[in-house]
Amino acid sequence: MLAAAFIGYAPATPLAQRGGGKAEPNRIQFKRGTSSASVTGSVRSSEEAEYVVEARSGQTIYLEVDATPKNSAVVSKLVQEGGNEIPVKKEGPGRWSAKLSEDSDYMIMVTKVKPGRTTSRYRLKVRIK
Protein backbone atom coordinates (compact mmCIF):
# COMPACT_ATOMS: atom_id res chain seq x y z
CA MET A 1 0.00 0.00 0.00
CA LEU A 2 1.22 3.51 -0.71
CA ALA A 3 1.86 6.20 1.88
CA ALA A 4 -1.15 8.22 3.07
CA ALA A 5 -0.01 11.58 1.68
CA PHE A 6 0.43 12.11 -2.04
CA ILE A 7 1.26 14.99 -4.32
CA GLY A 8 -0.97 15.81 -7.31
CA TYR A 9 -2.29 12.93 -9.39
CA ALA A 10 -0.42 10.91 -11.96
CA PRO A 11 -2.12 9.23 -14.88
CA ALA A 12 -1.03 5.63 -15.33
CA THR A 13 0.44 4.33 -18.57
CA PRO A 14 -2.37 3.13 -20.83
CA LEU A 15 -2.53 -0.63 -21.33
CA ALA A 16 -2.95 0.06 -25.04
CA GLN A 17 0.69 1.18 -25.07
CA ARG A 18 1.67 -2.24 -23.69
CA GLY A 19 -0.50 -4.22 -26.10
CA GLY A 20 -3.78 -4.16 -24.12
CA GLY A 21 -6.95 -2.39 -25.21
CA LYS A 22 -8.10 -0.40 -22.17
CA ALA A 23 -6.31 2.43 -20.37
CA GLU A 24 -5.31 2.12 -16.73
CA PRO A 25 -7.33 4.26 -14.29
CA ASN A 26 -5.85 7.61 -13.25
CA ARG A 27 -4.59 7.67 -9.66
CA ILE A 28 -5.86 10.52 -7.52
CA GLN A 29 -3.29 11.61 -4.97
CA PHE A 30 -3.56 14.15 -2.17
CA LYS A 31 -1.04 16.87 -1.43
CA ARG A 32 0.67 16.44 1.93
CA GLY A 33 -1.60 17.60 4.75
CA THR A 34 -4.80 17.66 2.68
CA SER A 35 -7.77 15.32 2.57
CA SER A 36 -9.17 16.22 -0.86
CA ALA A 37 -8.17 16.49 -4.50
CA SER A 38 -9.94 17.41 -7.74
CA VAL A 39 -9.47 16.19 -11.29
CA THR A 40 -11.13 17.25 -14.51
CA GLY A 41 -12.14 15.14 -17.48
CA SER A 42 -14.74 14.45 -20.09
CA VAL A 43 -16.86 11.52 -21.20
CA ARG A 44 -18.94 11.03 -24.31
CA SER A 45 -21.29 8.38 -25.64
CA SER A 46 -20.99 5.36 -23.36
CA GLU A 47 -17.43 6.09 -22.21
CA GLU A 48 -16.47 5.60 -18.60
CA ALA A 49 -13.69 7.51 -16.83
CA GLU A 50 -11.91 5.58 -14.09
CA TYR A 51 -9.93 6.90 -11.14
CA VAL A 52 -8.22 5.12 -8.25
CA VAL A 53 -7.70 6.46 -4.75
CA GLU A 54 -6.22 4.84 -1.65
CA ALA A 55 -8.23 4.89 1.58
CA ARG A 56 -8.24 3.23 4.99
CA SER A 57 -10.78 1.17 6.89
CA GLY A 58 -13.29 3.33 8.78
CA GLN A 59 -12.81 6.37 6.57
CA THR A 60 -15.64 7.96 4.61
CA ILE A 61 -15.18 8.96 0.98
CA TYR A 62 -17.10 11.96 -0.34
CA LEU A 63 -17.47 12.34 -4.10
CA GLU A 64 -18.71 15.42 -5.94
CA VAL A 65 -19.19 15.84 -9.70
CA ASP A 66 -19.75 19.27 -11.24
CA ALA A 67 -20.57 18.69 -14.93
CA THR A 68 -21.28 20.74 -18.05
CA PRO A 69 -23.98 20.44 -19.25
CA LYS A 70 -25.33 20.53 -15.67
CA ASN A 71 -25.93 17.10 -14.10
CA SER A 72 -24.78 15.29 -17.26
CA ALA A 73 -22.13 13.12 -15.53
CA VAL A 74 -22.38 11.01 -12.37
CA VAL A 75 -20.36 8.65 -10.20
CA SER A 76 -21.72 5.37 -11.52
CA LYS A 77 -19.72 2.98 -9.32
CA LEU A 78 -17.28 2.75 -6.44
CA VAL A 79 -15.37 -0.53 -6.53
CA GLN A 80 -12.96 -1.89 -3.94
CA GLU A 81 -9.71 -3.60 -4.95
CA GLY A 82 -10.72 -7.15 -5.77
CA GLY A 83 -13.92 -6.14 -7.54
CA ASN A 84 -16.42 -5.65 -4.70
CA GLU A 85 -18.82 -2.82 -5.54
CA ILE A 86 -19.35 -0.43 -2.61
CA PRO A 87 -22.83 1.09 -2.21
CA VAL A 88 -22.77 4.88 -2.37
CA LYS A 89 -25.27 7.15 -0.64
CA LYS A 90 -26.63 10.05 -2.68
CA GLU A 91 -26.07 13.21 -0.62
CA GLY A 92 -27.70 15.61 -3.10
CA PRO A 93 -27.31 16.66 -6.73
CA GLY A 94 -23.87 15.56 -7.89
CA ARG A 95 -22.77 14.37 -4.43
CA TRP A 96 -22.26 10.87 -2.99
CA SER A 97 -20.56 9.27 0.03
CA ALA A 98 -19.62 5.81 1.30
CA LYS A 99 -18.18 4.40 4.53
CA LEU A 100 -15.14 2.27 3.71
CA SER A 101 -14.55 -1.04 5.47
CA GLU A 102 -11.01 -1.96 4.39
CA ASP A 103 -7.58 -0.50 3.66
CA SER A 104 -7.66 -0.63 -0.11
CA ASP A 105 -7.44 1.09 -3.45
CA TYR A 106 -10.93 2.14 -4.54
CA MET A 107 -11.92 2.69 -8.18
CA ILE A 108 -14.31 5.57 -8.92
CA MET A 109 -16.18 5.40 -12.23
CA VAL A 110 -17.68 8.51 -13.84
CA THR A 111 -20.18 8.14 -16.70
CA LYS A 112 -22.68 10.24 -18.60
CA VAL A 113 -26.28 10.18 -17.39
CA LYS A 114 -27.61 9.67 -20.92
CA PRO A 115 -25.41 8.07 -23.59
CA GLY A 116 -25.29 10.10 -26.78
CA ARG A 117 -23.01 12.03 -29.07
CA THR A 118 -22.59 15.02 -26.78
CA THR A 119 -19.60 15.36 -24.48
CA SER A 120 -19.91 15.91 -20.75
CA ARG A 121 -17.06 17.86 -19.15
CA TYR A 122 -16.70 17.48 -15.38
CA ARG A 123 -14.69 18.19 -12.27
CA LEU A 124 -14.54 15.29 -9.79
CA LYS A 125 -13.71 16.25 -6.21
CA VAL A 126 -12.69 13.42 -3.87
CA ARG A 127 -12.50 14.01 -0.12
CA ILE A 128 -11.62 11.35 2.46
CA LYS A 129 -12.14 11.75 6.21
Across the chain, which has 129 residues, the per-10-residue mean pLDDT values are 35 37 84 95 92 97 96 94 94 96 96 88 97
For the chain, strand residue ranges (E) read 9-10, 26-28, 36-44, 48-55, 60-68, 73-80, 89-92, 95-99, 104-112, 119-128
Q: What is the pLDDT of residue 118?
A: 87
Tell me if the pTM is above 0.85: no
Measure the CA–CA gap between 36 and 28, rounded to whole angstroms.
Answer: 9
Measure the CA–CA gap between 32 and 99, rounded to whole angstroms.
Answer: 23
Structural domains in the chain?
9-128 (2.60.120.380)
Query: Do the Cβ atoms of 98 and 88 come closer than 8 Å?
Result: yes
Q: Count of CB atoms within 10 A of residue 47's CB? A: 14
